[in-house]
Amino acid sequence: MSNYLAKPNSTPRGGILILHAWWGLNDFFKEFCNRLADEGYLVLAPDLYGGEIAATPADAERLRKQKIKRNPTYQQIFDALKQLKTEANGTPIALIGFSLGAWLGLWLVEEKPKDIDAMVLFYGARGGEYAKTKSAFLGHFAETDEFVSASGRKKLEKTLKAAGREVAFHIYPDTGHWFFENDRPEYNSQAANLAWQRTVEFLHTQFGETK
């Protein structure tokens, strides 16, 4: 299985694991990794589809069903986290997940609660307890979303706060699912720019630095 690794020009602030949406590891997600590397982070994105890319929701749904399996998908994510920890050489680790990747990321922070210091969710939620994780959470959610219900989002936020986690969830007006991805028709540049700014500030804060 292939991984995409983006390295900063100087000593990394920390490591970031990226879990892509159901489109696969396309050019958007690779460029997102590069943008984070420009901010000083070592960034690793596992290719959960083995090189295949979807262009339409129907294709994405087909690939998700074909490619996302308890094994080997979970093991691939574990291996990617292990590689990132080695590459990051003891610096803090963050996790950013998009939609399907956010769902998988929330699973990961429960499975590896001591390994993830910060997590960013893009339009994704999942049930869980999250009592053992030490991670802080930042969430970006669409105002209108057929994949993430308001009740599911609110339940996740309530659960994380009850577990004593630092949580900041943002709802972006006049947006739908995938609003952050500039290769999708749902892309909203104003919301995407604000979400990027908030993400970078959150990461810098969690990694003990200011921009």
Q: What is the pLDDT of residues 65-91, one digit of tens each?
A: 999 988 889 999 999 999 999 999 889
Strand spans (E) along 53-163: 93-98, 118-122, 136-142
Query: What is the predicted pLDDT for the residue at 1?
Result: 52
**Run of H or E including 150:** helix 150-162
CA-CA distance, 32 to 62, in Å (whole number)? Answer: 24
Closest CA to 96 of 35, 53, 10, 184: 35
Domain 3-206 indexed as CATH 1.10.490.10: no
CA-CA distance, 142 to 203, in Å (whole number)? Answer: 21
Whole-model pTM? 0.96
Per residue in 123-165, pLDDT (tens digit) is 999 999 999 999 999 999 999 999 999 999 999 999 999 999 9
Contact status, residue 117 vs residue 136, Cβ threshold 8 Å: yes
CA distance from start to end of the chain: 35
pLDDT at 211 over 60: no
pLDDT at 57 over 80: yes
Three-state SS string over 78-97 comes to: HHHHHHHHHHHCCCCEEEEE
pLDDT at 210 over 50: no
